[in-house]
Amino acid sequence: MRKRYLIIGFVMLAVALVAFCIQSVGGKRRYSQNVNLAGYTNIGATGSYGTPFAIPPAQPGPPVHRTGVRSGELTNRASLAPHDKPPESERVYRGKTLQAWFNELRDYDPEPTIQALRELSPDSVAFLAAQLRKLDSPPKAAYLALWPKLPATLKSKLRQPFSALPGRRRAVMVLRGMGPPFTKSDLAFAALTAALNDPDDEVRSMAQGAIGDIGPQAKAAVGALIQSVRRRTDLINGIYALGRIGPDAKAALPVLETIVTTRSGRERVYAAEALVKIGGSRRTGIEALLNELHGTNAHARAEAALALKLSGPEAKAVAPALISALQDSDQLVRFNAATALAAMGLETKEAVAVLTKEAASDEPFGGLGLLAAEALLGVSADSSVALARLRRALHDQQEGVRFHAACTLGMKGKDADLTVPILVQALQAPDQRWQLVSVKALAKLGPQAQPAWEALTAAAHGTNEELKEAANEALRALRGQENSR
């Protein structure tokens, strides 16, 4: 018995020594990482512009990439020589360090933190990439596993260890929320590609989604994405990324064809849609989508209905199935079927009736009213129901709702007096997608958008090349019939 106690004592002493070493070496890097993050999906409340509506689980949209910061907001930087600059985590913005902003991240309201880190770029990108690379060493992993089993007396003598995993999850979530203007940078893209091999499912999935959000410019990650999809059980975000990359992801076609023939539900829908987008067998993809449209998974049915708008030449052949889906028991299936029919130019009385019902609904935003109104305008540019819903949305409390309504009306050349002030706000917002869409809407309004002249001129002299080109085009549209300037 005495020998047994000696062995136990020796083991506990060894654990204490390991803990001391870990704390001594890595104590300064320890963060408060106890946030329980909700996983992101690609199916959120996003509009046809790819912009967020700020409705959970809507994905935060990418802002404009700022190469500098406003005077006085980022302190202790310009006055320091390069070798004297503090680490990224210690830079101060609005009275808080970058590390403090990161620690304050909450999954139920991440946007304030994400916006602050956008403003702190490129320091924030370097910081997040570093967080994403942090892994628990084997000794620390062993210590973390032993900690719950240690007696309270021993725990009282030691510091509780914190895993690097919550930090990686938060870092990849923030990077995805910051959006393509940031994630397509060399540093962020390399970190996200490396994260496809992360030991954690959630980190891998979020990294796949962030790469997919970049679109065709992420083609360098095709090989890594294929390997990630091949060896993992959670396939959806990886398939989504390959589909978003498009024709440059042709190497993924054999993998996608296998998934289409062996899987079911949402995985099959995503693979079938990616197959069509990349340039694989359209017949195989559309047949799979039609099969899932009649499946038992409501979520998969809704996604299949919307994906069928890619039918192209086969549109008339799939129309009967979509018309039948207008009677589905699930609201989102009915709505997506109607939207797909309208997008293909095959709007029917039944489809218009579904869209009209949604657009006229008094349901608070979070439903489908705004999207239904947009789809209705595609069918009839003077739909009174659609215009009423969009005009009401111009006064919504949520910024994303107001911006979406103004952009939709502006793109149709409607209500310039109401929409231009909101479009100017969208142009000056940090989300680059809102900026680009608002500029295009102002261009559609032409001379009616004269009050936006100064904002467009500022955008035309900015650093974002895509936005500069769009702003110059809008300025030409404003000058088209108004040469008084």
Alpha carbon distance 105, 110 (integer Å): 6
Alpha carbon distance 212, 206 (integer Å): 10
> What pLDDT score does 485 carry?
40
What are the CA-CA distances from residue 307 to residues 101, 242, 253 (Å)? 38, 15, 18
> What pLDDT score does 342 carry?
83
Cβ(240)–Cβ(251) below 8 Å: no
> What pLDDT score does 11 carry?
53
Collect the ranges in the chain with pLDDT lower than 50: 2-9, 13, 20, 22-47, 52-86, 365-366, 481-485
The DSSP 8-state label assigned to residue 93 in this structure reads: E
Alpha carbon distance 397, 422 (integer Å): 13
Cβ(180)–Cβ(213) below 8 Å: yes
The DSSP 8-state label assigned to residue 217 in this structure reads: G
Instruction: Evaluate the CA torsion angle 162, 165, 171, 177 in order and state its sign.
Output: negative
Q: Return the CA Rg of the chain.
A: 26
Cβ(128)–Cβ(117) below 8 Å: yes
> What pLDDT score does 63 carry?
31
> What pLDDT score does 50 carry?
52
> What pLDDT score does 31 carry?
32
Alpha carbon distance 427, 475 (integer Å): 14
> What pLDDT score does 372 carry?
84
Q: Is 96 helix (H, G, I), strand (E, B) or coil?
A: strand
Tokens 């910081």 found at:
127
> What pLDDT score does 84 carry?
42
> What pLDDT score does 188 carry?
95
The pLDDT tens digits of the residues spanning 54-113 come to: 333 333 333 323 222 222 233 333 333 333 444 566 677 778 888 888 888 876 678 788
Cβ(470)–Cβ(439) below 8 Å: yes
Consecutive H or E run containing 46: none
> What pLDDT score does 58 carry?
33
What are the boundaries of each domain within the chain?
1-41+61-199
